[in-house]
Amino acid sequence: MINTSLNNNTSNITKNLSERDQELFYREIPSLLKKKDASLIAHYYTPALVQLLAERTGGIVADSLEMARFGKKVKNKTLIVAGVYFMGESAKLLSPAKKIYMPDINATCSLDLSCNYDDFKSFISKHPDRKVVVYANTSAKVRSLADWVVTSRNAIEIVNHLATQGQKILWAPDKYLGNYIKNKTNADMLIWQGECIVHSEFKIKKLLDLKSIYPDAAILVHPESPMEIIDQADVVGSTSILIDAVTSLPNDTFIIATDKGIFYKMQQLAPSKTLIPAPTAEDGANCRACASCPWMALNTLESLYSCLKNDTGEIYVATEIIEQAAVPMQRMVDFNENIQLKKEVSYAQ
Ligand code: 13P
Ligand code: SF4
């Protein structure tokens, strides 16, 4: 008999599982993870069941920065990265000696797709006076061209740091995040014109309508969203910052402009709060709050099981690319640890 005793939040997610999914969730996947000495590292946008499995098996659910850091820290020799391809590559760049697998190797990202290596290389060559700062949502090859890699959790601090040294910046690929950082820091930034197909869909008119219905709601926005959406935000930040906001702000209601997968963790940490997805379409559309990344959705129980069972979806990155791209990646991780350290010291004083 399979032990299905779980808490409330969890049982809501598991209550309608088919026999097959129960078998995978409670028995097959946990036992394969153990057998293969593998840790499951999931992003907040993956299906709730996958996030839950990562938590129950000693892995982690995190934002893109913490996923990469955890992968390096954890003792396991094998990492199963449930997210999108650049996250698997980040794990490989920071932990080249580990085997990294993804449930579905086709899980790409529109930002990654928007920044082709050859085009980007030629763009950089025209601006040799600029520091190249690249968002982590890009291929390892593109990151190998960068001076710095950043995520939405540390982008403002890193760009600020460069701007105070008088550096001019070439930014890629997300235009909305790039413009948001530029406004926040006043840095001299030349911006590549990529966008995320999920976050670019939020609609300002419908957001204002929703806010008028819930005037006390706090609006939380991921900075890959268009500027007019960011302008309405009470909090702008990475997935982990938005989750913190739900638990730390006094509001009872939140309107959330990011992928709906994040609701699982928000609801788990703040079960009494009301979470409303920000609108992605005007009246008449079939789905009016549809922020859901199609590539994150490829991380299913079935694909996770198949990758563990058949050793499919391994991430390979050429050695010379690892050597080059690991430098700006590690620079970001070290920078972040320094900020953390400074915060801890100033709290202690
Ligand atoms: P975070 O770095 O905030 O987890 O975001 C990654 C991402 O792909 C957002 O769309
Ligand atoms: Fe990429 Fe957008 Fe999906 Fe994030 S939500 S992984 S930026 S396509």
Q: What is the pLDDT of residues 245-266, one digit of tens each?
A: 999 999 999 999 999 999 999 9
Which atom in ligand 2 lies closest to the alpha carbon of residue 294? 3
Is residue 219 within 8 Å of residue 204, measured between CB atoms?
A: no
The mean pLDDT value of the chain amounts to 93
Is a pLDDT exceeding 70 seen at residue 124?
A: yes
Query: What is the distance in A from the centroid of ligand 1 to the CA of 222?
Result: 8
Q: How far apart are CA 243 and CA 271, in angstroms?
A: 12
CB proximity list for 204: less than 8 A, separation 6 or greater: 226, 228, 229, 232
pLDDT mean over 133-139: 98
- 324 burial class (0-12, 13-18, 19+ CB within 10 angstroms)? middle
pTM of the model: 0.94
User: 50-83 pLDDT, tens per residue?
Assistant: 999 999 999 999 999 999 999 999 999 999 999 9
Which atom in ligand 1 lies closest to the alpha carbon of residue 196? 10
Query: What is the distance in A from the centroid of ligand 2 to the CA of 196?
Result: 6
Q: Which residue is closest in CA terms to ligand 2's atom 1? A: 109
Which of 3-12, 74-83, 130-139, 151-160 has the lowest average pLDDT?
3-12
> For the chain, what percentages of helix, strand and coil (3-state, to nearest 5) are there?
50, 15, 35
User: What residues form DSSP beta bridges with 119?
Assistant: none
Please report the pLDDT score of residue 312 as a whole number.
98
Q: Which of 254, 83, 180, 20 is CA-nearest to residue 70? A: 83
Mutation to probe ligand 1, out of 239, 293, 298, 299 (largest number of atoms < 8 A from CB): 239
pLDDT mean over 13-19: 88
Pairing of strands 235-236, 148-150: unpaired
* Residue 344, SS3 per DSSP: helix
Is a pLDDT exceeding 80 seen at residue 125?
A: yes
Which atom in ligand 2 lies closest to the alpha carbon of residue 199? 2
Q: Which residue is closest in CA terms to ligand 2's atom 7? A: 196
Please report the pLDDT score of residue 348 as a whole number.
46
User: 284-328 pLDDT, tens per residue?
Assistant: 666 666 899 999 999 999 999 999 999 999 999 999 999 999 999
> Between vectors from CA 298 to CA 297 and to CA 303, what angle results, nearest 5°?
135
Mutation to probe ligand 2, out of 295, 298, 299 (largest number of atoms < 8 A from CB): 295
Please report where in the chains the tokens 């999914």 appear, as a residue. Answer: 21
Helix 175-185 vs helix 155-164: crossing angle, to nearest 10:
50
Is residue 143 within 8 Å of residue 121, measured between CB atoms?
A: no
